Structure 1
């Protein structure tokens, strides 16, 4: 689908950018929509910390492959949230096997992560004079995480706007689409970029340079990218790829 139209007063965006498939797709769409885009990453002691390197590679590749977007891509910010890893007893921040908890949530759920991410993103956006915060949370292909739900995002948008007396828009482009549609969205945004074969270029960039695997595996290369192939993130990404190429 082509990039959505934007209200004239929305001219800047801060993208929560991990270096994974979802946040890269959101970044590409933001660059197609907003004249000024900045990125924000978080280092919270995650086991898949390789994403901190991947995100820099993705930013470099986007600048090189999509020259029309490069002038729009502004400062990259990284915040140290080691405290989140210290208070979280999860398989993303500890050497633990992936399993379901008694709560019905997988132990990949980091309590408060997205709430904290968005609060800090809003504080940064406030200081930088940015109106839109973009995040790749999704209620279609997710593991039941309560902080990925649309209701949570709407409540946060209201709370942050009131608490900072600054009208924020929390944009969630992937909220109602599955992983196959996320691959397709990346293709469509790239195709509309003006770059020759831009759809394939962006998809290839995501395959080769983004990182999603919870175990941080960059040794095993699959048709959909690098990863262990068995963690929940890899399974979801692989299933989405299969649906995308079957279209």
Structure 2
């Protein structure tokens, strides 16, 4: 656990999906005090907002030491994103690649806005670490998930608010198989007997990653349509992890 007085209190960007749940476990294991923040931007997969509540409740119940460090949850309405973007995450359109080479699941400025709002919340709450699940490995090529973007945002937010922020990106250089392994390792390190499997089971059963919001179809890796980009990445990572474990 971090003992630095400067970076001991964290705010996790928490969507309720596999990646952000793993990031939340990372923060709870690493920092002395942790809060969470989520965003309602009119996403098609709004069921993730319900998943957030379920995951938080399960973490509090199953992981006693983490529960002591887990503070308030915040949910912000950022519906303006749906007004300024035409994407398959905010409109009822099929998933496809754009002429730019990016999938139409890319919501321009989404992560930049989320980080800015999270920093404003963190400033008010006395939190100095912002934890986010962006990565450059198993991802869809979103430019606002790149390490350079995160470093630039860390500098801009720290300067703009005159507050020394640290943007922690624990998944930046690992793929989805390694993300499953990280979750298992974090669960084991929690001090709970069988904590590794318990955290993996929690992610499978209660988190939500599917872009279509499908909670009908249950797979070995969790609920989802099995065909959207998010499901494909998650399923492939699960298969690689299980094959190597």
Q: TM-score range by the shorter chain?
A: over 0.9
Aligned residue among 70, 95, 98 for 1:98:
95
Please name the residue that 1:246 is paired with: 243
1:41 lines up with 2:42 in the alignment: no
- 3-state SS of paired residue (2:73): strand
Please name the residue that 1:223 is paired with: 220
Residues 63-82 of structure 1 mapped to structure 2, 5 A cutoff? 63-82=60-79
- Please say if residues 3 and 32 of structure 2, whose CA atoms lie closer than 8 Å, have aligned partners that are also in contact: no
Please name the residue that 2:54 is paired with: 57
Could you tell me how far apart the structure 2 residues matched to 1:135 and 1:170 are?
Answer: 7
- Please say if residues 87 and 106 of structure 2, whose CA atoms lie closer than 8 Å, have aligned partners that are also in contact: yes
- 3-state SS of paired residue (2:38): strand
Q: By how many angstroms is 1:109 displaced?
A: 0.1
Moved over 6 A (4+): none
Q: 1:6 to 1:142 in 2, by over 3 A?
A: farther
Q: By how many angstroms is 1:6 displaced?
A: 5.9
Please name the residue that 1:186 is paired with: 183
- Please say if residues 8 and 32 of structure 2, whose CA atoms lie closer than 8 Å, have aligned partners that are also in contact: yes
Please name the residue that 2:197 is paired with: 200
- Please say if residues 158 and 164 of structure 2, whose CA atoms lie closer than 8 Å, have aligned partners that are also in contact: yes
Could you tell me how far apart the structure 1 residues matched to 2:142 and 2:200 are?
Answer: 27
Could you tell me how far apart the structure 2 residues matched to 1:222 and 1:137 are?
Answer: 24
- 3-state SS of paired residue (1:141): coil
Please name the residue that 2:112 is paired with: 115
Q: By how many angstroms is 1:173 displaced?
A: 0.2
Q: By how many angstroms is 1:10 displaced?
A: 1.6
Q: By how many angstroms is 1:8 displaced?
A: 4.8
Aligned residue among 17, 20, 25 for 2:22:
25
Paired residues in the alignment total 244
Structure 2: 5+ residue stretches without partners: none
TM-score by length of 1: 0.97
Structure 1: 5+ residue stretches without partners: none
1:141 lines up with 2:133 in the alignment: no
| Aligned residues: CA RMSD | 0.9
Q: By how many angstroms is 1:136 displaced?
A: 0.1
Could you tell me how far apart the structure 2 residues matched to 1:63 and 1:9 are?
Answer: 26
TM-score by length of 2: 0.98
- Identify which range, 155-164 or 7-16, moves more after superposition: 7-16
Could you tell me how far apart the structure 1 residues matched to 2:58 and 2:221 are?
Answer: 18
Q: By how many angstroms is 1:11 displaced?
A: 1.2
